[in-house]
Chain A
Amino acid sequence: MSPLLTVDDLRVSFPTRAGLVEAVRGVSFSLGRERLGIVGESGSGKSQTGRAIMGLTPPQARITAKTLSFDGIDLLEASPRERRELRGNRVAMILQDPKYSLNPVMTIGRQIVETLRTHRKISASEAKARAIAMLEAVQIRDAARVFDLHPHEVSGGMGQRAMIAMMLIAEPELLIADEPTSALDVTVQLEVLAILDRLVAERGMGLIFISHDLRLVSSFCDRVIVMYAGRIVEEIAAADLRNARHPYTQGLLSCMPEIGGDRHPLPVLDRKPEWAR
């Protein structure tokens, strides 16, 4: 079976006054219907990798790749129209903070219905019924009431659930989640992850989970890619993370303070220039 997504030698660079800055430098992986984590620090290129797949790279940036294809469609050759057909329909993306990524002047329900009716020919009443059913699927109590609320009237956790509902309503085959729970409280974080996990499993989607939190990602995904300075430094099964070989991965794991881990001072990363090479 051919993979859902193939990325081979992806490069994203931005022209600046100081010359070309390469944010992503030769990233390759393929994804089936599985959960893949991409982990790295700020500036490692993890988000730009996700955005390039989604087709959301700023227009001044240059993207090159030997292959960048989704289900046999060459994403680099696809017209803007074809990309729009895919976006929100077969490929969807959840962003970090619902406060900034939901439209503040539109009710939650209208935003979900808009996504659905952009991609499916259905009546307004049927779209509304499906949106409410979707809100219930992300465990929002009293979904009919939330349907008519504006984003500022709900909590962060509920806003993020609404965004998940909006992204999943068109039943995408590939979901890219860029730090989907970083803006949420720990307790709410787990509820949102559990919802995401159940829906991904039930619908057999491919998932790319982008995060700076290596531990969270490894508890959630099947496979983890670790990025540093625009490159993949290590790819490892989440279950084997404890046996990570690259010093950067090991450093990321050990620098987090643990409950009951009495280590003073904490080990810090000793960055080696050859990691970026």
Chain B
Amino acid sequence: MSTAVSAHDVTVIYEDFKALDGVSIAVDRGKSYGLVGESGSGKSTLLRAIAGLAPVASGRLEVNGRTLAPRRRDKAFYRDVQMVFQDPYGSLHPRQTIDRLLQEPLAIHGLSDAEARIARALDEVGLGTGFRFRYSHQLSGGQRQRVAIARALIVEPSILLLDEPTSALDASVQAEVLNLLEQIQRDRGLTFLMVSHDLGVVTHMCDQLAVMRSGKVVERLSAADLVAGRIDAEYTRNLMVASKGFVRTSA
């Protein structure tokens, strides 16, 4: 099986803070890969490094077999790799209609046939064309996240970088968005690299995952191993216990 995204010994340094410290992962094509860890562990930084949004100090990033330049990427890269952010309230332009928001990536990449593409993208995320001329403040959190997914899909990428795509949503809306993501992955054969602090979400969505802590990968394992409790690192075990909910010690 071929590798869609890989990182080899990647280090990211912000001034004198090492946000990523020699991280390596490999994501198989058409699969979902999860990054888990607490805030500050570097999981989002790794996504941002791949997207070209973080200063890579050393190491090598590869997408679809091509090594990426540290800073500037070509246009084909930005079409092939798209990102969905955590906060649907902050990631959509407040003064643009959904139509205008979806025109933007088409204009950047010089894609024709905007009408049909926008209609198709909205349809694919389950919104329908009725939403086309609304503003993002007229939508609920779940609907906004659907727009963000539509905006990523409209340029037909092969890789989606998902940064906590459902953690700002209610549980029931989270289920709808996760189902949508699984659906589009099946339909389009997409590769997902997904950051989440919720082990339930990650094991539901991903086949493989990496547990991160203070800029390093603590453990790489399959979701099946995690579920079965075949865990090596103490830290991963702590995360497992924590995600099972509160347990009263002195009952």
Residue numbers of A with Cβ under 8 A of B are: 41-42, 156, 185-190, 193-194, 197, 212-216, 219-220, 251-252, 255-261, 263-269
Contact B201 A257 (CB under 8 A): yes
Q: Closest CB of chain B to A228's CB: distance in Å? A: 11
Q: Which of A185, A219, A257, A267 contacts B39 (CB 8 A)?
A: A185
Closest partner residue, chain A, to B203 (CB atom) = A259
Cβ-based interface call for B123 (8 A): no
Report the bound CA distance from A189 to B39 in whole Å: 12
Residues of B within 8 Å of A256, CB to CB, are 171, 174-175, 200
Contact A259 B170 (CB under 8 A): no
Contact B38 A268 (CB under 8 A): no
Contact B245 A215 (CB under 8 A): yes
Contact A197 B174 (CB under 8 A): no
With A187-B38, A219-B245, A220-B246 as given contacts, are A260 and B227 in contact (CB-CB < 8 Å)? yes
Report the bound CA distance from A197 to B176 in whole Å: 33
The 0/1 profile, CB within 8 Å of A marked 1, for residues 124-168 of chain B is: 000000000000000001000000000000000000000000000
Q: Closest CB of chain A to B205's CB: distance in Å? A: 8
Report the bound CA distance from A66 to B42 in whole Å: 52
Q: Closest CB of chain B to A36's CB: distance in Å? A: 15
Contact B172 A252 (CB under 8 A): yes
Cβ-based interface call for B226 (8 A): yes
Cβ-based interface call for B238 (8 A): yes
The 9 tightest CB contacts between A and B, nearest first, are: A257-B204, A255-B175, A185-B38, A265-B179, A219-B245, A266-B175, A260-B227, A269-B172, A41-B170
Contact B178 A194 (CB under 8 A): no
Interface of A is mostly: loop
Report the bound CA distance from A193 to B247 in whole Å: 10
Closest partner residue, chain B, to A184 (CB atom) = B39
Residues of B within 8 Å of A259, CB to CB, are 199-200, 203, 226-227, 240, 243-244
Residues of A within 8 Å of B248, CB to CB, are 197
Determine which residue in A197, A216, A219, A266 has the highest number of CB atoms from chain B within 10 A of its CB, and name it: A266
The 0/1 profile, CB within 8 Å of A marked 1, for residues 174-187 of chain B is: 11101100110000
Q: Closest CB of chain A to B171's CB: distance in Å? A: 5
Contact B246 A257 (CB under 8 A): no
Residues of A within 8 Å of B51, CB to CB, are none
Contact A187 B238 (CB under 8 A): yes
Closest partner residue, chain B, to A216 (CB atom) = B245
Contact A188 B175 (CB under 8 A): no
Cβ-based interface call for B218 (8 A): no
Contact B172 A186 (CB under 8 A): no
Residues of B within 8 Å of A257, CB to CB, are 175, 178, 198, 200-201, 203-205
Residues of A within 8 Å of B183, CB to CB, are 265
Residues of B within 8 Å of A219, CB to CB, are 245-247
Q: Closest CB of chain A to B248's CB: distance in Å? A: 7
Residues of A within 8 Å of B38, CB to CB, are 185-188
Contact A186 B197 (CB under 8 A): yes
Residues of A within 8 Å of B112, CB to CB, are none
Residues of A within 8 Å of B245, CB to CB, are 215-216, 219
With A187-B38, A266-B178 as given contacts, are A193 and B200 in contact (CB-CB < 8 Å)? no
Closest partner residue, chain A, to B201 (CB atom) = A257
A-B contact pairs, 19 of them (CB 8 A): A41-B173, A42-B170, A186-B197, A186-B243, A187-B238, A197-B246, A216-B245, A252-B172, A255-B171, A255-B175, A256-B174, A257-B204, A257-B205, A259-B227, A261-B204, A265-B178, A265-B182, A265-B183, A269-B175
Contact A264 B243 (CB under 8 A): no
Report the bound CA distance from A217 to B200 in whole Å: 17
Q: Which of B141, B197, B247 contacts A42 (CB 8 A)?
A: B141
Contact A252 B171 (CB under 8 A): yes
Q: Closest CB of chain A to B31's CB: distance in Å? A: 15
Report the bound CA distance from A212 to B238 in whole Å: 23
Residues of A within 8 Å of B170, CB to CB, are 41-42, 212
Residues of B within 8 Å of A197, CB to CB, are 246, 248
Report the bound CA distance from A185 to B239 in whole Å: 10
Q: Closest CB of chain A to B84's CB: distance in Å? A: 18
Q: Closest CB of chain A to B141's CB: distance in Å? A: 7
Residues of B within 8 Å of A264, CB to CB, are 182, 204
